[in-house]
Structure 1
Amino acid sequence: MSANHPTAVLKFGGEVVADTPRLVRVMSEVKALSDRGWHFVLCHGGNPQANALTERLGLERKQVGGRRITDAETLRVMKQVLAGECNIDVVAAALGQGLRAVGISGVSAHLVTAERRPPKVMSGCGPDPIDFGYVGDIAEIRTDLIDLLWDHGYTPVLNTLGVSSRPDEASGVCEVYNINADTVSSAIAAALRADHLFLITGVPGVLRDKDDPSTRIECLSEREARRAIDEGVIVGGMIPKVEEALKILQQGVKAIHIVGAEAGSIRAEAERPGSCGTVLVHDAR
């Protein structure tokens, strides 16, 4: 894309989807940037909604090492939540703010083509391989549908289910897989070689002290980010987010923004990177 039409992927979780005022604020910021020529893909999760539906249905929530086991019943829940409730709620909020939003799935047109994750031994979970069920590992991202929607002025709202490249021999149906939303949004950004990937988190960026928002780090180069991990500045759940971001930078994404969901944060980050979150950028050449 030209400088007049920056491309961006915005990922947010089910917590944002469930908080209508916050969701509307996010959509209004996307609309303001879209009016200036930006092209967005909106990727959403739905973990709180999936957990709530699992409980209402009386199903057992199965996790190993903090990761969801997706058996057939759980996959049905994920389809209902991601492709149903959450996707529709995000599209409705986007429409309300004037975006020409279209709800799509990673299953649509084989956008997120995946393979079923084979059983594997997990650290701290015993010697036996863990079968995660209908969990997918991304094999290919096909961006044709996104390009088509962008060309016609639409904003794709993507749920992060994936699909097998070939049908099951017995049923003739392509298998659907549950895939982590952070993983999908990063892969989409890399395949598009997007100018920006925005990740909305529960904190306003990478913090030197995880309990003190005033210690936010405005900008990290690849080298600085690795050093911050090695020195214990970046800790806990922020480590995999930053490590994933570093991989995506190497695949052509120009900047990755880790931000909170405070009013104005996305627009401010787009206009002045590092002003409201933490921006990860390439090392100086």
Structure 2
Amino acid sequence: MAVSQAPIVLKLGGDVVAGPYLGAIATDVVALARSGTPVVLVHGGGPQATALQKQLGQTPNIVGGRRITDQATLDVMKMTLAGKVNVDLCAALVAAGARPVGLHGASSCVIRAVKRPPLVVSGGGPDPIDFGFVGDVTGLHHELLSLLLGAGYVPVLACLGADEAGNVYNINADVVANQSAIALGARSLFLVTDVPAVLRDVADPTSRIPRLSLADGKKAIADGVVTKGMIPKLEESFAAIAAGVRAVHIVGRLQPGDLAREAAEPGSVGTVLVP
């Protein structure tokens, strides 16, 4: 059968996959899929990769919040992202009654990528940094994803890309999720984090900001309301909206029903970012 409506793209960080809320998320993915809403999952695995590197005697090399990926690190990312994290997430979805299909960039080049050129990054000094086997997304395998979604499956994408020559690249999961949402014309993109929403006070969960426009978001950053890791999330999210994604939801610490409720009533659970 054909996909009848635009999908929802759901991005889970590695800490979320390993955390206590995965069961609730999986239950809601099933509910959305059964209601006729196609769902594509994208996941990271940073904490798991760092832990495995340390077990193997490697020292993670992170510059400006970004992991430099040499050959040994790329091997760890393959084992972690396309291995343990993808399997664990698919298993949780199966247990909830979903029909997940685990994929990575080399799965028929479902995430096409090229090597990222050296870049100057904040926190990395004045000179361009060569991040090694780190990629930039150039496209998705639409036919494969449409085939899976149309048959009722849930694609689960590990954040590894690949090119036609078989080179594999490590890619930030937020970037893969944003690019997937843009390429698929998603009705919305959900970024599931370890905080419940964008908060006015990070120590007070009741200070949730239900809705942020582009102008509001820029002001919140300038005023110091939004800090640390939430800043790049907002900046990347507004870039996705500028490229055509209709809404980005930042949610976390979800209970059963929360994800479906936020999809139906934007801003009711987390923070919805709009143009």
Q: Do the structures match in fold with TM over 0.5?
A: yes
Which of 238, 263, 270 pairs up with 1:270? 263
Inter-partner Cα distance in structure 2 for 1:150 and 1:70 = 32
Whether 2:172 is the aligned partner of 1:180: answer: yes
Inter-partner Cα distance in structure 2 for 1:217 and 1:89 = 32
Cα 1:104–1:275 shift into 2, 3 Å: same
Inter-partner Cα distance in structure 1 for 2:244 and 2:122 = 31
* Percent of aligned pairs sharing the same letter: 50
Q: Report how far residue 223 of structure 1 moved.
A: 2.5
SS of match in other structure, 1:188: helix
Match of 1:17 in 2: 17
Match of 2:195 in 1: 203
Inter-partner Cα distance in structure 2 for 1:138 and 1:3 = 23
4+ residue runs over 6 A deviation: none
Inter-partner Cα distance in structure 2 for 1:24 and 1:125 = 38
Letter in 1 for 2:161: G
Q: Which structure: larger Rg?
A: 1
Q: Report how far residue 133 of structure 1 moved.
A: 0.8
Match of 1:95 in 2: 94
Match of 2:234 in 1: 242
Cα 1:95–1:130 shift into 2, 3 Å: same
Q: Report how far residue 127 of structure 1 moved.
A: 4.3
Which of 232, 236, 244 pairs up with 1:252? 244
Letter in 2 for 1:201: T
Inter-partner Cα distance in structure 2 for 1:89 and 1:186 = 23
Q: Structure 1 unaligned runs (5+)? A: 168-173
Whether 2:109 is the aligned partner of 1:110: answer: yes
Checking the alignment, whether the CA contact within 8 Å between 1:193 and 1:251 is kept in structure 2 is: no
Question: Which deviates more, 54-63 or 150-159?
Answer: 54-63
Q: Report how far residue 106 of structure 1 moved.
A: 2.5
Q: TM-score, normalised by structure 2?
A: 0.93
Match of 1:36 in 2: 35
Q: Report how far residue 202 of structure 1 moved.
A: 1.6
Match of 2:63 in 1: 64
Checking the alignment, whether the CA contact within 8 Å between 1:26 and 1:261 is kept in structure 2 is: no
Cα 1:156–1:123 shift into 2, 3 Å: closer
Q: Report how far residue 4 of structure 1 moved.
A: 7.2
Inter-partner Cα distance in structure 1 for 2:30 and 2:191 = 17
Cα 1:163–1:28 shift into 2, 3 Å: same
Inter-partner Cα distance in structure 1 for 2:247 and 2:263 = 10
Report how many aligned residue pairs link the two structures: 273
Q: Report how far residue 254 of structure 1 moved.
A: 1.3
Cα 1:89–1:230 shift into 2, 3 Å: same
Match of 1:140 in 2: 139
Match of 2:51 in 1: 52
Inter-partner Cα distance in structure 2 for 1:248 and 1:8 = 14
Letter in 2 for 1:147: S
SS of match in other structure, 2:108: helix
Letter in 1 for 2:207: T
Q: Report how far residue 44 of structure 1 moved.
A: 0.9
Greater RCO structure (CA 8 Å; 6+ sep): 2
Inter-partner Cα distance in structure 1 for 2:175 and 2:145 = 17
Inter-partner Cα distance in structure 2 for 1:122 and 1:191 = 26
Inter-partner Cα distance in structure 1 for 2:211 and 2:4 = 24
Letter in 2 for 1:273: P
Q: Alpha carbon RMSD of aligned pairs, Å? A: 1.9
Checking the alignment, whether the CA contact within 8 Å between 1:23 and 1:93 is kept in structure 2 is: yes
Question: Which deviates more, 21-30 or 184-193?
Answer: 21-30
Q: Structure 2 unaligned runs (5+)? A: none
Inter-partner Cα distance in structure 1 for 2:209 and 2:48 = 32
